[in-house]
């Protein structure tokens, strides 16, 4: 660590700034339909999936982590991400078993329903509780086990603030979320001037019946923030399948492609453009596609820059 001579001016700044006071434990946060109490900040945390892991990294919680799961099974671990992860190991390429978490001596698991946990599966808050592993559930995913409002960017913000409370970095979380809210307000100020709601469809995968983001999936909130309207936001589900007939009938003006897995975004676009059944869809006719990476389309720190990308694609003249 380098030592610096502190000038009188800098010293006065430190004098005026009140030091952050550590919060008192225990603390309790709401996780889906549960209240979870922590007697101390987790010391051996495991995160699942790239977007959830990036939330941990955004709050600089690497020193509290003993591993992550579910990234390389679907996504590439880029050099930048690997650099931020450092020596933290990947414990499972896809979903972890209970034994994997126990083998890591985990005391905390940050995951979601269909993001590392399945209803009735081997790894759930109930199955991990007897082993002293507290679980915090990704807010967007709560729709799989309870009734919740229409998806909102506040779901992601609440996750970050709850993590701040759990790990005693609330000031860090509040600063991060305040920055995101300011960024969001700037984007919506531009898109509000257009007075439009472009029809948008999210194409994740599958040629027979497309897998897409419906009412409770994060891209719906992102599309709305960017000044569009998800054409299947009336489907009471999260990530789900719909029929191509619905897509053709509702005629999206823009198609958002989620890029991950073995089939590339370019291949998905080529399929849409080569199939005669889609020839009259406005987005296909006018070649209006926007590509989002997986961790841009799922709840996490990259959502805000992705909303900006969507907004500029929807309304280039507004920026």
pLDDT at 21: 64
The CATH code of the domain at 176-318 is 3.40.50.1980
- Per-residue tens of pLDDT for the chain, all 319 residues: 333 333 333 333 333 444 556 789 999 999 999 999 999 999 999 999 999 999 999 999 999 999 999 999 999 999 999 999 999 999 999 999 999 999 999 999 999 999 999 999 999 999 999 999 999 999 999 999 999 999 999 999 999 999 999 999 999 999 999 999 999 999 999 998 888 899 999 999 999 999 999 999 999 999 999 999 999 999 999 999 999 999 999 999 999 999 999 999 999 999 999 999 999 999 999 999 999 999 999 999 999 999 999 999 999 999 9
Report the DSSP pairing between strands 211-213 and 239-241: antiparallel
Q: How far is CA 148 from CA 88, 193, 217, 237, 305, in A?
A: 34, 30, 12, 11, 26
DSSP secondary structure string for all residues of 182-251: HHHHHHHHHHGGG---EEEEEE-B-SSS-EEE-TTSHHHHHHHHTTEEETTTTSSSSEEE--HHHHHHH-
pLDDT at 18: 47
Could you check whether 20-147 and 176-318 share the same CATH topology?
Answer: yes
- Cβ-Cβ contacts under 8 Å for 3 (sequence gap 6 or more): none
Alpha carbons 51 and 65: distance in angstroms, whole number:
15
Burial class (CB in 10 A: 0-12, 13-18, 19+), 269: middle
Strand positions, DSSP E, the chain: 27-31, 34-38, 45-48, 65-69, 90-92, 108-113, 116-117, 134-137, 198-203, 211-213, 228-230, 239-241, 254-259, 289-293
- The domains of the chain are located at 20-147, 176-318
pLDDT at 201: 98
pLDDT at 193: 83
Here the tokens at position 281 are: 């869809």
pLDDT at 20: 56
DSSP SS3 for 292: strand
Maximum Cα interatomic distance, the chain, rounded to a whole number of Å? 72
- Cβ-Cβ contacts under 8 Å for 52 (sequence gap 6 or more): 110, 111, 112, 115, 116, 138, 299, 300
Phi, psi of 45 (to 5 degrees): -85, 150
Q: Which CATH number fits domain 20-147: 3.40.50.1980, 3.40.640.10, 1.20.1630.10, 3.30.70.20?
A: 3.40.50.1980
- Determine the straight-line distance between the first and last CA of the chain, rounded to whole angstroms: 43
Phi, psi of 30 (to 5 degrees): -90, 130
Q: Is the distance from CB of 171 to CB of 161 less than 8 angstroms?
A: no
Helix axes 218-225, 303-314, angle to 10 degrees: 50
Q: How far is CA 129 from CA 70, 102, 122, 134, in A?
A: 21, 11, 12, 6
DSSP SS3 for 255: strand
């Amino acid at each position: 660590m380098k030592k610096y001579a502190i000038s009188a001016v800098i010293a006065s700044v430190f004098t005026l700034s009140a030091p952050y006071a550590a919060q008192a434990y225990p603390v309790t946060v709401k996780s889906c339909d549960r209240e979870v109490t922590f007697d101390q900040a987790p010391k051996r945390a495991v995160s699942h999936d790239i977007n959830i892991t990036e939330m941990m990294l955004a709050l600089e919680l690497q020193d509290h982590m003993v591993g992550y799961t579910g990234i390389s099974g679907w996504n590439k671990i880029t050099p930048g991400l690997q650099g931020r992860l450092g020596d933290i190991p990947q414990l499972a390429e896809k979903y972890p078993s209970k034994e994997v978490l126990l083998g890591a001596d985990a005391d905390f698991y940050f995951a979601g329903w269909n993001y590392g946990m399945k209803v009735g599966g081997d790894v759930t808050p109930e199955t991990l509780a007897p082993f002293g592993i507290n679980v915090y559930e990704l807010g967007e995913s709560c729709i799989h086990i309870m009734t919740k409002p229409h998806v909102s960017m506040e779901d992601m913000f609440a996750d970050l603030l709850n993590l701040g409370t759990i790990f005693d970095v609330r000031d860090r979380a509040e600063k991060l979320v305040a920055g995101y809210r300011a960024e969001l307000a700037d984007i919506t100020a531009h898109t509000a001037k257009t007075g439009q709601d472009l029809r948008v469809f999210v194409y994740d995968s599958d040629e027979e019946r497309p897998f897409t983001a419906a009412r409770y999936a994060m891209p719906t909130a992102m599309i709305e923030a960017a000044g569009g309207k998800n054409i299947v936001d009336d489907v009471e589900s999260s990530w789900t399948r719909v029929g191509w007939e619905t897509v053709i009938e509702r005629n999206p003006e823009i198609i958002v492609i989620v890029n991950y897995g073995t089939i590339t975004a370019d291949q998905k676009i080529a399929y849409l453009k080569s199939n005669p059944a889609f020839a009259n869809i406005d987005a296909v006719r006018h070649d209006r596609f926007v590509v989002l990476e997986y961790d841009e389309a799922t709840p996490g720190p990259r959502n805000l820059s992705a909303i900006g990308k969507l907004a500029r694609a929807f309304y280039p003249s507004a920026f």
